[in-house]
Chains A and B, each alone.
Chain A
Amino acid sequence: MSAEHEAATEQRHADSADAEAGEPPKLQAENLTKQFGRIVAVDDVSLEIRPAEVFALVGDNGAGKSTLMNMLSGVHEPTKGQIYKDGQPVNFSNPADARATGIETVYQDLALMDDLDIATNIFMGQFPRNGVGPLRFIDWDETYERAEQIMMEQLGRDVDIKTEVEFLSGGQRQLVAIGRALAFDPDVIILDEPTSALSVDATRLVQDTIEKLADQGITIVIVSHNIESVLKLADRIGVLFRGSLVNIKQPEETDLEELNELMTTGTLESKSMDE
């Protein structure tokens, strides 16, 4: 991590702490519960995500992190509980509702169209257009210009936006998916397993990008089971176990072993026994 970036991260933490004092949470879950038939996937989870922080949700398979993410991104409606955005109660019945409030989600499968180029992928469904009345057509010049802007200025990557996505590496594909989220000008981006199945270099590329976005004031929610990566990136880490939020830790006050124990047992019994 560069000195410049460390300073930016510290500043972000300070801003986040200030925000905690004054501003409402950027995103808040209050007693969120989701049941599928008789199975309780998420059980009475309450948490607050501060403006411009990188918040990670970790948990083992079946811990409920994807279900919680899906409620925050509008894929699932909660069975019980309330979501707040910037202090205001919001109800999402589909991802478009969440998008309308500034929440974008990058799913694990990235939802990219391999045969199409980067710019077309970024603006699919929301192309810049020009024309009059119903006769409005895609403005390709602006599409390419804006796609380049997003990739260059916001993601800091010098790219050929006419490259077909099929020929990008895993990390590069992740960036394009994030670029598409940015095209909607969000203030919260939820990333589902952003570094899973990526090489070391690609993981670093994605981590740098996430830090860059957070430095720009965008609130990032990472859903992951890659604790190592999360420890490097997150300002706070929420641990889910069997549908419940069992702990929220700051990276400075925890380690890989402790988080692993929380994820697999839901408690820190061995630690307290040692003590």
Chain B
Amino acid sequence: MKTPKELKYTETHEWVKLEDGFAFIGITDFAQDSLGEVVFIELPEEDDQISQGSEFATIESVKAASDLMSPISGVIVSVNDALEDSPELINEDPYENWIIKVELDDESELDGLLDSDAYEKLAKE
């Protein structure tokens, strides 16, 4: 299980990366492995407002649908459209293939998230 040190994590298995003032959000290696082959992602629209802890997308494996919860609040400035036709990219590299790019409302929300050690511990339980 890969858990890059520079990312922040949620208890619901999303990661967030801060880059140039924007937050990139995706799902963790543990999450993609638990889901199995991702076959469809219901993506949000650009310019949608999202809030911390609210659902922003739904990811479907062969077996089931799972909601993704936003780690932070803000406005979606970009959606990774490549996932629409190639949802399996999430399985291939869950950290390279972010799902949404968000303009943060409040950077301090990141402080409440898990670091890689804490997340790894949680995922192993």
Tell whether A and B belong to one assembly: no
**A contact set with B: CB distance below 8 Å:** none
